[in-house]
Structure 1
Amino acid sequence: MFVTTKFGKLNEFKKGLFEARAVALVLKKQFSQKDVNLDEFFKFYSDSGYHEDRYKPLSGRDYDRFLSTRAARRQPSLTREITSMAYKVGKQMISLAEGMPNEKVFPFTRLEMHTPYDRLVLDGKELAGALQYVPSQGFPALLSELRKFQSEAHRPPPLPRDILVTNGGQHGIYQCVELLVEPGDAVLTTEFAYTGIHSVLRPLQPEIIGIPEDEDGMLPETLDAVLGERQRRGMKMPKMMYTIPTGSNPTGTVLPEDRRRQIYELACKYDFLIVEDDPYMFLNYTDRPIPSFLSLDTCGRVLRLDSVSKVVSAGLRGAWITAPKPLLERLELHTQAELLHPCTIAQVILLQLVQCRQSFATHLSGAREFYRRRRDALHAALTPLQQLAPFYMPHAGLFFWLQISGVDDVHRMVFQTALQRGLMLVPGQAFQFDIHAPCPYLRLTFSKIRLEDMDIAVKTLGEIIRYEQQETLQKQKRIATEG
């Protein structure tokens, strides 16, 4: 259920206003002959549904205990409220209120974009609207479409939720941390986590509780044991978990349904919120629909981050947050203060993409097969190195995660040996909160490397690993001799 409410004294007045004006899109649909089954492709829920349990859903002031002091102090911007009203009243009122530029001064007359399936043309009033300020929550027509999309794809339990458009997935991460985390708080992540969450968290000097993974992702039993021990010892409990459940960056794991259900149950048991960052949801190579945390959220504990950066365009910065209504209202206040709203033209393009479900699914299916072939090619090239650098086949996403045998720290290997031999790598330190701690892991990305370069890259990698192993042995011998 998606319900929108606002702060302040304008609420009652706004309830009677008309729905948002939509920008008209001129579409020329040219669907591929290989149409995708939409019911199966956009399916991120379980046919067995969600299960009511003994935990009470959160509502209203229940969320106050999760808010950071910064978030709790934010107040609505009345001028932003007026902008939202302007999109609802249309031309029914004469306005001396809006601090918007006049569209007649915009120097653009036409925007036209093509995909293999559609054509987007904006001119006249439609283009003027796409170049104008919009409400901080997002372009109204896009919000309506995303609400529909999330309801169809995830079938979340019927709790008050809504959507906020963000300026990319990283912006959503930043928003959630600002909303929930105080300096010194405990935060749950996987043992190795996306570097973007660490970048946001470091200034707050939190305590990172990193939960180990196996080839199927985070271990719920370990999570339960760690939190149970902290609770028994009276230690500070985390309010937030950050996770990439499908195609974890950097490990490539996919949390299976039973683990997601266990982790959600632990969120209720230990009273924390789950930030579900899912940019690789369409790059799941298991061919099994896996329920999202949002689809399991009977108690209002999930803030879901969606992004099209990996499968449509990174530069479009197309992304959105789906969250319980009380939290989303606070997130919108942050947007009001930080950037007013994400780029309107980018939102109009995103609307066109999501509206055309069949062409959208056809493109996404093609993107998944494109990356699957590249994953398989790199896997074939890496297989002879399995003893030198053990790894699991990634089930989703864009990355292989290798543990380098006999090398305790890959930092020199990456920044000296590999670079000298013309190979760029990412050290595991990038995914640790403490980037200076030793780490034996490498992350390899198969998204952009040319297929014909994979074998030579892996051959060079093997040579580098053997060289580093030999250097490590020599160092150990010197230390033993000196000792």
Structure 2
Amino acid sequence: MNHEFYFPYNVKAALKNDPPGEWMPALPEGCIRLSSGYPASELVPSNGIKAAVSTLLEEEQDLPLHYLGSPKMPRLKQQIQNRLAERGMKVQEEELLITAGACQAIDLIARALLDEKVVVAVEAPTYMEALEIFRNYTNQIISIPVDEQGLRVDEFASVLAERKRLGLVLPRILYTIPTFQNPTGTTMNEQRRMRLLELSREFDFLILEDDAYGELTFDVSPLSLKALDREGRVIHVGSLSKITAPGMRIGWIAAERPFITAFAWFKKDLDHSFAQSAMAVFLESIDLEERLKKLKGVYQRKCTLLIQSLEKFFPTSVTWYVPKGGYFVWVRVPGVDTSALLPLALSAKVSYVPGKYFFSNQDEGIEYLRLSYSFESEEQIEKGVQILGNLISNHLKNHLS
């Protein structure tokens, strides 16, 4: 049987890309996981969620386990609306869609708004799973560089003007992670945010704002693009994964009603009703502000330690951005192919993510790597950075001699 015969053209095109997650290597037992963008194990509220599940089932018996789910499901939507309002985003009920995490949200947006003719602009570097999703729907992807202040909005403006002058198709969507970006940890300043919104009006494109890390600030979080938006051009994606438990798969899309209607059309009734109900009960049982305060304190200490360890153990030629929140530090190692170095690091039981996987043009990321401080203990972070620093130093000496 010719299996390919049954796949439509767009699926055949998508299947030519690298398989999702292929970049992730098998990690040896006992590996120090500086690659893992996960919450620290001790910060995942397993006991709290266990209690919430118990309360839910005691009160409602089988109801949460049916297709329609618990009557508590709408509470989660209200809780997220309230949280968004506290952050300056006034979102009506019909302007909010609960999703199975941020990745489903991005996929729904791509499915509803993209085809092979649509141009998408992304940051360079950017979240690799978003790149994988976009490639399932279009190969028309253009990249705009990031610096220590986030997206180079000035360069994006130049690209837009040049494409318009040449009669090229303009981007219909810009995907950006403006706050504590993955992988760089950088944050777009307010001046750039306002200029980006101006460009969206001038060149008539939508902004897909991925705000997965937006509440994990070490100081004061900037206003989101959605909070600054006055024309409904920002489609805001958020998640509880980084502040509660990623396995619960709770995310959302906040956007103008016609967009939400379209996204919901493709989502259908594919809710994780049990997870949503349990999360609603859990959020009612905690002081979220206190939880965020704890998370911020832990991650700030770990980030500070990682930066200090880089200064102590890495060669002076290596540079990095110092984040003000989130999970990640973005490191440039001049003269080193970080993908080629990774097997040596894994042999020494330390992992990281090579930078090339965060770029549409992978050659741009050869000398970069992403380190995460969220998952490992402070002791393991320091030990892992020391091992990496020694490997990089030896690698550079061997190639210069």
TM-score (normalizing by structure 2) = 0.81
Moved over 3 A (4+): 158-161, 353-356, 434-438, 470-474
Q: What is residue 367 of structure 2 aligned with on the other side?
A: 440
Residue segments in structure 1 that go unaligned for 5+ positions in a row: 1-69, 71-112, 475-483
Give the superposed CA RMSD: 2.5
Q: What is residue 266 of structure 1 aligned with on the other side?
A: 199
CA distance in 2 between counterparts of 1:380 and 1:275 reads 34
Q: What is residue 404 of structure 1 aligned with on the other side?
A: 333
Q: Percent identity?
A: 29
How far apart are 1:438 and its partner, in Å?
5.8
User: Do the aligned partners of 2:184 and 2:328 also contact (CA within 8 Å) in 1?
Assistant: yes
Q: What is residue 31 of structure 2 aligned with on the other side?
A: none
How far apart are 1:435 and its partner, in Å?
4.1
Matches within 5 A, 1:59-98: none
How far apart are 1:149 and its partner, in Å?
3.2
How far apart are 1:363 and its partner, in Å?
0.8
Matches within 5 A, 1:43-442: 114-115=47-48, 121-123=55-57, 126-134=60-68, 139-156=73-90, 162-285=95-218, 287-336=219-268, 340-355=269-284, 359-384=287-312, 385=314, 387-407=316-336, 409-414=337-342, 416-435=343-362, 439-442=366-369
CA distance in 1 between counterparts of 2:338 and 2:59 reads 56
Q: Give the secondary structure class of the aligned counterpart of 1:352.
A: helix
Q: Deviations over 1:158-188 (max 9, x none)?
A: 8996111100111111111111111143211
Task: Report the AA paired with residue 148 of structure 2.
Answer: E
TM-score (normalizing by structure 1) = 0.68
How far apart are 1:352 and its partner, in Å?
2.8
Task: Report the AA paired with residue 263 of structure 2.
Answer: L
Q: Deviations over 1:423-470 (max 9, x none)?
A: 212100121124466610010111122211233222221221123324
Q: Deviations over 1:3-49 (max 9, x none)?
A: xxxxxxxxxxxxxxxxxxxxxxxxxxxxxxxxxxxxxxxxxxxxxxx
Q: Which has the larger radius of gyration?
A: 1
How far apart are 1:473 and its partner, in Å?
3.7
User: Do the aligned partners of 2:56 and 2:281 also contact (CA within 8 Å) in 1?
Assistant: no
How far apart are 1:238 and its partner, in Å?
0.6
Structure 2 CA distance for partners of 1:438 and 1:152, relative to 1, 3 Å: closer
Q: Give the secondary structure class of the aligned counterpart of 1:402.
A: strand
Q: What is residue 452 of structure 1 aligned with on the other side?
A: 379
CA distance in 2 between counterparts of 1:398 and 1:424 reads 15
Structure 2 CA distance for partners of 1:427 and 1:148, relative to 1, 3 Å: same
Task: Report the AA paired with residue 131 of structure 1.
Answer: L
Structure 2 CA distance for partners of 1:248 and 1:274, relative to 1, 3 Å: same
User: Do the aligned partners of 1:161 and 1:323 also contact (CA within 8 Å) in 2?
Assistant: no
CA distance in 2 between counterparts of 1:434 and 1:405 reads 18
Which range moved further: 204-213 or 246-255?
204-213
CA distance in 2 between counterparts of 1:353 and 1:360 reads 10
Q: Deviations over 1:110-152 (max 9, x none)?
A: xxx8539x866124662433222239xx933333333333233
CA distance in 1 between counterparts of 2:158 and 2:229 reads 23
Residue segments in structure 2 that go unaligned for 5+ positions in a row: 1-9, 11-45
CA distance in 2 between counterparts of 1:115 and 1:233 reads 57
Task: Report the AA paired with residue 341 of structure 1.
Answer: L
User: Do the aligned partners of 1:217 and 1:254 also contact (CA within 8 Å) in 2?
Assistant: yes
Task: Report the AA paired with residue 467 of structure 1.
Answer: N
Q: Give the secondary structure class of the aligned counterpart of 1:204.
A: coil
User: Do the aligned partners of 2:207 and 2:233 also contact (CA within 8 Å) in 1?
Assistant: yes
